[in-house]
C-alpha cells in the first residue's frame, strides 16, 4: 500500500510542477501529440504497403502489360513479369 502512496505523491508533485510552468506543459504536450501522430501514420503506411498480402488469389502470377514504340510503329503488347 505504501507504493501507491508514493506514486500518488509523485503524480501530485508533477501536477503542481506542470501548473507552475504552463508554457513547458504546452510544449511537452504538443511534442508528444506530434510524435504519437507521426508514429501512428508511419506504422499505418508500412502496415498497408509492406506487411499485408496483396488482395489477389495468386499474387506471384501478376504481370504488367505495356505498349512500346520502336522506330515509329506499334509493337504488339508483350506481358512483362513483375
Q: Which three cell numbers stand for residue 41?
A: 501514420
Between the alpha carbon of residue 79 and those of residues 20, 22, 52, 70, the distances in Å are 68, 63, 26, 16
How far apart are alpha carbons 72 and 76 in whole angstroms?
13
77: left (phi over 0), alpha (psi -120 to 50) or beta: beta
Q: Are 47 and 39 in contact (CB under 8 A)?
A: no
Whole-model pTM? Answer: 0.52
> Could you tell me the residue ranges of all domains in the chain?
2-81
Q: What is the pLDDT of residues 26-62, one digit of tens each?
A: 999 999 999 999 999 999 999 988 888 878 888 788 8
Does residue 12 carry a pLDDT above 60?
Answer: yes
Amino acid at each position: 500500500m505504501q507504493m501507491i502512496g508514493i506514486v500518488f505523491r509523485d503524480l501530485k508533485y508533477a501536477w503542481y510542477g506542470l501548473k507552475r510552468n504552463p508554457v513547458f506543459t504546452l510544449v511537452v504536450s504538443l511534442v508528444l501529440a506530434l510524435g504519437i501522430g507521426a508514429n501512428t501514420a508511419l506504422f499505418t503506411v508500412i502496415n498497408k504497403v509492406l506487411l499485408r498480402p496483396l488482395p489477389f488469389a495468386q499474387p506471384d502470377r501478376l504481370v504488367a502489360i505495356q505498349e512500346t514504340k520502336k522506330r515509329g510503329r506499334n509493337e504488339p503488347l508483350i506481358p512483362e513479369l513483375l
